A and B are shown apart, each in its own frame.
Chain A
Amino acid sequence: MNERTKFGVADGIYLVGGGALVGSAFLYWVARGAGSGLRGHDLIDTVVALGNHVPALSSGRLTLLWYLIPALGAASWIAFGVAGPRSRAGRIVAISAALMAAFTFGVFVRLVGWQRLGWGPKVALLGGLALVLGAWLPPKRVRSW
């Protein structure tokens, strides 16, 4: 595989990662039971109303967290187009998205448990990891005189 192909694949992984983050907003975050047919604000309200909570995270903050995931996915595409995936901006967005996705994944495991976890948080987590991979691999090209 030559350099050009490697970078092409990494770019593709980066784009797919961003797409996964955006797409997670259209998936169900709860597989069964209360909240399984809901997304966003309604989903968080429903889950929290049943007595589930995360310390220091109010319903409003949890809702913000949920919407931040697809927003970071969209931001990764902007960073890709303007500065490139392996630019500083691209890497900052990738790291932020991966951290947010991991954090949100953990929050939903606490809220609804492993057995009821839907595909939404799983796809978001995979998307964050893909962004990081695309932003750091392969190493940056070195220009020679």
Chain B
Amino acid sequence: MSELQERLNALSRRGKPRGVDAVFDEAARIAATTAEAEVDGDELDPIPFVSTEPARRPRRRMSSLIAATGVTVLLLVSMLAVTAFLGSGGANTPEGAVRKLADAISHEDPLAAADVLAPSEIQSLHGTLDAASKRAAELKLVQQAGAPLSGLDFDVDDLQLTAENLGADYAKVRIQGGTIRARTEHEKFSPLVQKSLGDPATNEGRVDLRQGWGDESAPQDLFVVAVRQGGHWYVSAAYTTLEYIRVGNELPAADFGSGARNIATLGADTPEAAVENGMRALQASDWSALIALADPKELPLYDYRAALLEHANRNETKTEFTISSMAATATVSGDTAKVSLTAAGTGGSGGTWSVDGGCFRAPPSGSSEGENVTSGEEDTTWCVGQTFGSPFSLGLVGSSVGPRPGGPSEITVVRREGRWFISPAGTALDVLDTWIANTDQRALYILLGQVESLPPDAVITLNTKVRLPESTGYANAAVYEFQGRAGQEVLADITPHLPDGECCSYNAFIVNADGSYVSDGSMPLYGNPVALPADGTYRIVVTIYGNGGDSFTLWDAAQAPADVRKKTGESCRHVGGAGTSCFDSASGSDVLDPGVVTPGAGTALPAPTIAKDSGETCVQTSNGKYDCSNSATADSSLPVDATSIP
């Protein structure tokens, strides 16, 4: 029985049963005697109302579907989050890995590119790139650490790839089509780099990847080797490089994966043994033994042993040195060890060499056995991780009087399945990390050839000898502030500190207070005084190439000793960036590269700066400079004329 029926039954049982007439009479009586008599007859009396259950909104099928989709997507997002936290980089296919790398290049994202490279090869490269980006931003080499390649625009388009299996976890991805475009946008570089680049023009280049490589008559497809690690495919820089070497030299095929399979039989028992055995193998030109000591997961030399050994045999590659003493000490931390090596011996020419931590002292060139070398020019010590360095080694290794504080002096060795291997990538990244950390603003100005931006190191007075600092790398600079007068001529003279003469070479420029060069960059060296334009404060920037330690004096030319003024030789100019141009201004000396001179337009060049010798022809170039060359005898000295260039 429903609730409604129950209530009606309850109503009917209420009170005493009476007839209809009696009910109406009673209602009329109540109405006439109570306030309810004033109620408007049209207004409805409240009627007892029994509420029913609310009507339910009919459910639509589409709404259910949408709700279900929402639940599914929510689950997927959750899975995505978990996967992202637990997963790693790479791609699902070899082609996917290459496309990911191409995408990273197109977005100028070095970190994304590092994430698609084989993890076993790059180790801490991601961290090194992070540190490099941050340091570059601190030094104002880039405007933002997050966009270190701002100003460079790369685009990789229309890649056509096919993968060829080389083994279970190895694939060669051939690039059969596509283009790479590169563009520079001058205004997006940092002001520091813009100043170095000079030319504000936008440069563009395009490479059609279909053109392949190798013999032009039978070009081969470009390719990239991908490897599978941890279930994901990555681009392998090491396998790609070795494969190009193998194919380019028509060497035997690699045995992919053999290094990993035989890892228990390779390497050395201890970290010290790995380094010492490596030195002995290098000394004996035992390339097979040396290959076995390289970490096969990081640098797959063992997989390519047949090709590398044949290449060494064909070229008769051999070393010529002996080891008279050697000691290695290791500091082990888990599966990684840092090994410090101390060794000495003799070189092929009989001179002695030594390694002491991170510094290598090379045997003097041309010296005989037992010769006591005292000349700074012949005694070359190279230390890793220097801020400055030879341009040929990208500044990472520099001649030095000693290791730079904080520089690495150790070789990284890693343990794989109980065996110890030398880690080339780990060692190289340590060197790079130290170099990045040690590079400061000063070093950057020197590397970029913006020495005029260097603040002064000291204040000097004219005619007073100053000792130049010893360099800690290939190049260094000393900046001195001095007071000058309008029309005063100044002349710098270098006094070598070594008995056999000059150790080093120098450039020197006078810079105005605003950073502009005095006399268009003429160097006040080699008997060539420079006239100061006004009274005021100037800086002389002396760039030192070599170990330094010589002394120099900035003379008032009117008070300079006769032998200082009499020095003849080059007359040199600074021609922008890191360039200088020098040529002989007097008879009796070899003419150096005539180079490019930049006289003021329409003016006579100040004596004794000579623009051209009488036998030279000067031709104005498109950028307003003059290119002088001796058409008859470029290397001979000629009588000098003072000539103005119109």
Contacts and interface: CB of A to CB of B under 8 A. Distances in A.
Given A22-B73, A70-B73, A81-B67, A34 B148 contact: yes
B108 A41 contact: no
B144 interface: yes
Interface stretch (B20-28, B99-107, B200-208, B238-246): B99-107
A36 B77 contact: no
B147 interface: yes
Contacts of A78: 67, 70-71, 74
Interface stretch (A49-57, A98-106, A123-131): A49-57
B147 A33 contact: yes
A74 B144 contact: no
Interface in A47-95: 47, 49-52, 67, 70-71, 73-82, 84
Contacts of A116: 144, 146-147
A18 interface: yes
Interface residues of A, number: 41
A37 B115 CA distance: 10
B109 A35 contact: yes
Contact of B70 (A28, A37, A50, A76): A76
Nearest to A78: B70
A75 B76 CA distance: 12
A33 B77 contact: no
B148 to A, nearest CB: 7
B100 A67 contact: no
A32 B81 contact: no
A134 B557 CA distance: 85
B149 interface: yes
B134 A41 contact: no
Interface stretch (B58-66, B465-473, B505-513): B58-66
Nearest to A36: B107
A90 to B, nearest CB: 11
Contact of A35 (B64, B70, B137, B146): B146
A37 B104 contact: yes
B145 interface: yes
A37 B100 contact: yes
A18 B78 CA distance: 16
Interface in B132-169: 133-134, 137, 144-150
A37 B107 contact: yes
B59 to A, nearest CB: 9
Interface string A12-48: 0001001000100100101111111111111000110
A112 interface: yes
Nearest to B150: A33
A33 B63 contact: no
Q: Chain A CB within 10 Å — which of B78, B103, B111 has the most?
A: B111
A35 B74 contact: no
B85 interface: yes
Contacts of B134: 50-51
Contacts of A39: 84
B153 to A, nearest CB: 9
B107 A33 contact: yes
Contacts of A30: 146
Contacts, number: 124
B349 interface: no
Interface residues of B, number: 41
Contacts of B104: 36-37
A77 B67 contact: yes
A42 B149 CA distance: 20
Interface in B47-70: 63-70
B130 interface: yes
B110 interface: yes
Given A50-B145, A71-B74, A82-B63, A34 B110 contact: yes
B71, B72, B137 pick with most chain A CB within 10 angstroms:
B71
Given A50-B146, A80-B63, A113-B144, A74 B84 contact: no
Contacts of A46: 111-112
A34 B137 CA distance: 13
A71 B77 contact: yes
B92 to A, nearest CB: 16
Contacts of B80: 25, 40, 67, 70
A51 B142 CA distance: 14
A138 B80 CA distance: 35
B66 A67 contact: no
A37 B91 CA distance: 13
A80 B64 CA distance: 9
B70 A74 contact: yes
B109 A40 contact: no
B73 A74 contact: yes
A80 B69 CA distance: 11
Nearest to B107: A36
B462 to A, nearest CB: 46
B146 A80 contact: no
B70 A34 contact: no
A52 B232 CA distance: 30
Interface in B87-131: 89, 100, 103-104, 107-112, 115, 130
A51 B70 contact: no
Most-contacted residue by chain A among B80, B104, B145, B146 (CB, 10 A): B146
Contacts of A32: 107-109, 147, 150
Contacts of A79: 70
24 contacts: A32-B150, A33-B109, A34-B146, A34-B148, A35-B112, A37-B104, A37-B109, A37-B112, A40-B81, A49-B130, A51-B134, A51-B145, A52-B146, A67-B77, A70-B73, A74-B71, A74-B72, A77-B67, A78-B71, A78-B74, A80-B66, A81-B67, A81-B70, A82-B63
8 cross-chain pairs, A with B, having the tightest CB-CB distances, nearest first:
A81-B67, A77-B70, A33-B147, A78-B70, A37-B112, A36-B107, A74-B73, A74-B74
Interface of B: 63-74, 76-78, 80-81, 84-85, 89, 100, 103-104, 107-112, 115, 130, 133-134, 137, 144-150
Given A50-B145, A77-B66, A80-B63, 15 more contacts: A22-B77, A32-B107, A32-B150, A33-B144, A33-B150, A34-B111, A37-B103, A37-B109, A40-B80, A50-B130, A67-B81, A70-B80, A80-B67, A81-B68, A113-B144
